[in-house]
Amino acid sequence: MHALVQGVILGILTGGVYALMASGQTLIFGIMKVVNLAQGAMVIMAAYLAYGLFTRFGLDPFLAIPITTVIMFGLGVGVELLFLRPLRREDKSELSLLVTFAVALLIEGVLSVTWGTTYRSINASYANSSWTVGSYQITVVRFWAFVLSLVALGLLFWLLNRTRFGRAVRATVQNPESARLLGVEAQWVSALGFGLGAATAAAAGSVYGLLYPFYSGSHYDLISRLLSIVVLGGLGSVGGAVIAAVIVSTSSAIVAATISPAWSEMTFFVILILVLLIRPRGLFGSVNRGAI
Amino acid sequence: MDQSIRSWRKGGVVVAAASMALALGACASSSNNSGASATTSAGAPLVIGASISLTGDFADSGKAVQRGYQLWASQVNAKGGILGRKVTMKLVDDASSPTQVVSNYQNLINRDKVNLVFGPFSSLLTVPASQVAKRYGYSFLEPAGGGPKVFAQNLNNLFFVQPAPVVKSGDVFADWVLSLPAAQRPKTAAYTELDDPFASPIAENVRARFEAAGIKTVYKEIYPAETQDFSAIMAKVVSANPDVLVGGTQNEDAYAQVKTLVQLKFSPKFMFLSNGANSPLEFPSKAGTKNTPGIMSAGDWFPGSTAPGSADFTAAYIKANGGTADTIDNSSAEAYACGQVLEAVAAKTGKIDNATIISTLHQGSWPTLLGNLTWGPDGAPSGSFNLIQWQGGKLVPVFPDATAKAKPIYPKPSWGG
């Protein structure tokens, strides 16, 4: 029982981190109907950037986030302008899979050449610290990662629901044609939206690097989890992605504690298949893809 | 119909080509044999070929092997070579591919007509490579293929240049624990094992020894390679409250196990990690230097070793590559030891050819910087690794007594945080 409760606590905290990563992924899909297979690679790249800033300049990975956010935002906008914008055909969604996968491989290659292929981890002074609450341990990094995820998601919601840009984004998602007729610069919404999605990878990368060892190839594992979270939550729904992330990481913690850790990695995909059988558009996906 | 005839014809062509290739191969091998014996004359350079992974998955370790081979060659040439013959290493890249490694050894032996060959990196590549060497009667000293599949081939030309097969590397920990007075031994044990032929069997061998000696297993888990988050596994370890934790680990899983235990504030009295914890630089940087004291692992070569040639190797390595002794990858030391074995054969027999190497190495004990090596008929070494422990931020050999430089510390100090 003790192991179960301990597992659930850590599972919920980890869910927050996955929620942050998946929110960027689902946002990009919502705006552009592009499945960004490079999202995982962008998270790993941000982890390397945070690692570099930490080892070179001693900058705390949490404090590095504003810097890495700007870099990742720029990268996202650049990728959209250079690689995705030229795809104007009807089959943009399918082609974008190839293009974003190529971007993922490109990022992986650059990271391998720059940092080698050995595992890295960001060992801040508090990386192994935890607070004892009752007889349970709450790790400092996971706790702050969870808080950070809530803050970042809150900002994202604010941006989408309370600003002019957000209104333009939502309009584009609901009906790109009408949005254009009403004067929304759909092209810029796409570029900035992709940049915004990539920017969420910055905070996620810092946290990821603090929690887990990573190397340039870590993104394959990550993207498969992110895709299952995004599909589970309903493609394009940021709120759905958050809830899906917490559901899967908590249930995989419960499975690990009650059945076996060997099965916990499977839990992601078992839940995904079950939900898709019962509700093919995911938990919160709307039929006409109108909501974020 | 038409197509099947065409493919049949194509098949015929392939068969014909293959038989021609075989015939050519036979010619090549016979001419090579005569070539090898002709160049045995003193003065001609001794060319040693090896395929190494300079790119691909094993690139980092492959480059370490390359440094070891080249360092040995330059060292032995500075002393005048082997039996008056200068050593030339011919190293080619296999991109970590089991098919490329076969082509490479075929080319080294048949086209380049090297005198001798050394092994590649990893068991995955050693198995196909050693078969090529066997076909042409070449001896196969190899520094990095220690998995069960390598020895299951039962090749008499193969010699794994490490103290023991990989799956037996944890036995030295069992030897030490069971050598303690009964009152000081752990009573309960937990085993956390990576599902990998080079990790889980090591811990399983220790478990068999411990259970036979009455140490109760309170938890055992084999986790898949993609396990990233160890919270759940370690939470179960904490609940089971074992005296000793035996981790059948590779690299990052070893660091993650330590980190997670620190976070959960549980420090077992004894902790052995088969791999990962024996990495002098990576382990403290990943797990935190403050958390290393008392953790045990197994190793062959270690900085400051007094085994034959170790001091020369260390000095020459640092001179050639910079850094400190702690930055030397064991794969370099193991590759270097292949050369030492060759020197020893030449010194003992006065000859350096494949038949002599194969017939000589199955008997006796051969001193290297990894310690004295002996081999069984299948090429598996019959020695034991050293038990090493983190003490004062350094890896120190603590058992067996012959190589120990400090007394083992137990129970393990609690985590530094």
- pLDDT tens-digit readout, B147-193: 899 999 999 999 999 999 999 999 999 999 999 999 999 999 999 99
One-letter amino acid at B413 equals P
CA-to-CA dists, residue A84 to A28, A76, A90, angstroms: 12, 10, 13
Task: Give the gap in angstroms from C-alpha B98 to the nearest C-alpha of chain A.
Answer: 20
Q: Is A3 on the interface with B (CB under 8 A)?
A: yes
Q: Is A127 on the interface with B (CB under 8 A)?
A: yes
The residue among A291 and B53 whose pLDDT is bigger is B53
pLDDT at B13: 43
pLDDT at B100: 95
Give the C-alpha separation, B278 to B287, whole Å.
Answer: 12
Q: Is A195 on the interface with B (CB under 8 A)?
A: no
Cβ separation of B239 and A3 shorter than 8 Å? yes
Is a pLDDT exceeding 60 seen at residue B18? no
Rounded to the nearest 10 degrees, the angle between the axes of helix A238-258 and helix A140-162 is 160
Local confidence pLDDT in tens for the 292 residues of chain A: 777 888 888 888 888 889 888 888 888 888 778 889 999 999 999 999 999 999 999 999 999 999 999 999 999 999 999 998 888 667 777 888 999 999 999 999 999 989 887 788 888 888 888 898 888 888 888 888 889 888 888 888 888 889 988 888 888 777 778 888 888 887 788 888 899 889 989 989 998 998 888 888 889 989 988 988 998 888 878 888 889 999 888 888 888 888 887 787 788 788 888 888 988 888 877 655 444 5
Give the confidence band of B254 by pLDDT, cuts at 50, 70, 90: very high
Q: Is B225 on the interface with A (CB under 8 A)?
A: no
Q: Are residues B389 and B244 in the same domain?
A: yes
Kind plus residue range of the DSSP H or E element containing B221? strand B216-223
Residue B29 lies in a domain: no
Residue B331 lies in a domain: yes
Number of domains in chain B: 2
Could you list the beta-strand ranges (E) of B32-120.
46-52, 87-93, 116-118
Q: Are residues B110 and B198 in the same domain?
A: no
User: Which 3 state secondary structure label does DSSP give A72?
Assistant: helix
- From the list B233, B255, B262, the residue facing A256 with the nearest CB is B233
- From the list A121, A252, A257, the residue facing B235 with the nearest CB is A257
Cβ separation of B231 and A11 shorter than 8 Å? yes
Q: Are residues B45 and B123 in the same domain?
A: yes
Residue B9 lies in a domain: no
Give the C-alpha separation, B322 to B318, whole Å.
Answer: 5
Q: Are residues B288 and B395 in the same domain?
A: yes
> Domains in chain A and their CATH numbers?
2-278 (1.10.3470)
Chain A interface, best mutation among B231, B261, B291, by max A CB count within 10 A: B231
CATH number for the domain spanning B158: value is: 3.40.50.2300
Give the C-alpha separation, B75 to A239, whole Å.
Answer: 65
Calculate what percentage of chain B has a pLDDT beyond 70: 90
Structural tokens at position B26: 């036979």
Residue B112 lies in a domain: yes
Question: Contact, A192 vs A77, CB < 8 A?
Answer: yes
Q: Are residues B137 and B48 in the same domain?
A: yes
Considering only alpha carbons, which residue of chain A is nearest residue B233?
A: A261
Could you list the beta-strand ranges (E) of chain A.
130-133, 136-139
Q: Are residues B271 and B392 in the same domain?
A: yes
Structural tokens at position B140: 């196969």
Q: Are residues B108 and B194 in the same domain?
A: no
Rounded to the nearest 10 degrees, the angle between the axes of helix B310-321 and helix B59-78 is 110
Task: Give the gap in angstroms from C-alpha A193 to the nearest C-alpha of chain B.
Answer: 30
- From the list A137, A213, A221, the residue facing B263 with the nearest CB is A137
* Ranges of H-type helices in B96-230: 98-106, 123-135, 148-152, 171-179, 200-212
Q: Is A55 on the interface with B (CB under 8 A)?
A: no
- From the list B232, B256, B417, the residue facing A129 with the nearest CB is B417
What per-residue string of b and e applies to A161-185 under the rule 16 or more CB within 10 Å gives b? eeeebbebbbbbbeebeebeeeebe
Q: Are residues B117 and B254 in the same domain?
A: no
CA atoms within 13 A on the CB side of B118: 33
Cβ separation of A3 and B232 shorter than 8 Å? yes
Residue B28 lies in a domain: no
DSSP A138-183: EEHHHHHHHHHHHHHHHHHHHHHHHSHHHHHHHHHHH-HHHHHHTT
For the question of an ipTM over 0.85, the answer is no
Question: Contact, A200 vs A42, CB < 8 A?
Answer: no
Structural tokens at position A227: 């895709």
Structural tokens at position A111: 């990271």
Q: Is A119 on the interface with B (CB under 8 A)?
A: yes
Is a pLDDT exceeding 70 seen at residue B4? no
Q: Are residues B265 and B121 in the same domain?
A: no
- From the list B236, B252, B256, the residue facing A257 with the nearest CB is B236
Predicted model pTM: 0.80
Mean pLDDT calculated for residue range B313-332: 92
CA-to-CA dists, residue B157 to A253, B131, B141, B279, B378, angstroms: 50, 9, 8, 31, 8
To 5 degrees, how large is the angle CA B339–CA B342–CA B347? 130
Is a pLDDT exceeding 60 seen at residue B123? yes
The residue among B58 and B213 whose pLDDT is bigger is B213
Q: Which residues pair with B51 in a beta bridge?
A: B92
Q: Are residues B323 and B226 in the same domain?
A: no
Structural tokens at position B150: 């390598």
Q: Is B322 on the interface with A (CB under 8 A)?
A: no
Question: Contact, B250 vs B244, CB < 8 A?
Answer: no
Q: Residue A138, class by beta-carbon neighbours within 10 Å (0-12 exposed, 13-18 middle, 19+ buried)?
A: middle
Structural tokens at position B355: 């038949």
Residue B224 lies in a domain: yes
Mean pLDDT calculated for residue range B205-210: 96
Chain A interface, best mutation among B263, B279, B291, B329, by max A CB count within 10 A: B263
B343 alpha-carbon distance from chain centroid: 20
pLDDT at B41: 52
Residues in chain A: 292
Residue B267 lies in a domain: yes
Structural tokens at position B190: 């937990």
To 5 degrees, how large is the angle CA B6–CA B12–CA B14? 105
**Longest CA pairwise span in chain B (Å):** 81
Cβ separation of B263 and A129 shorter than 8 Å? yes
**The domain containing residue B367 runs over which residues?**
39-165+308-373
Q: Are residues B116 and B198 in the same domain?
A: no
Residues of A in contact with B190 (CB under 8 A): none
Residue B90 lies in a domain: yes
Q: Are residues B197 and B286 in the same domain?
A: yes
Task: Give the gap in angstroms from C-alpha A85 to the nearest C-alpha of chain B.
Answer: 33
User: Which 3 state secondary structure label does DSSP give A194?
Assistant: helix
Show Cβ contacts of residue B351 under 8 Å, excluding neighbours closer than 6 positions. B40, B83
Give the C-alpha separation, A159 to A274, whole Å.
Answer: 33
Q: Is B283 on the interface with A (CB under 8 A)?
A: no
Residues of B in contact with A261 (CB under 8 A): 221, 223, 227, 232-233, 236
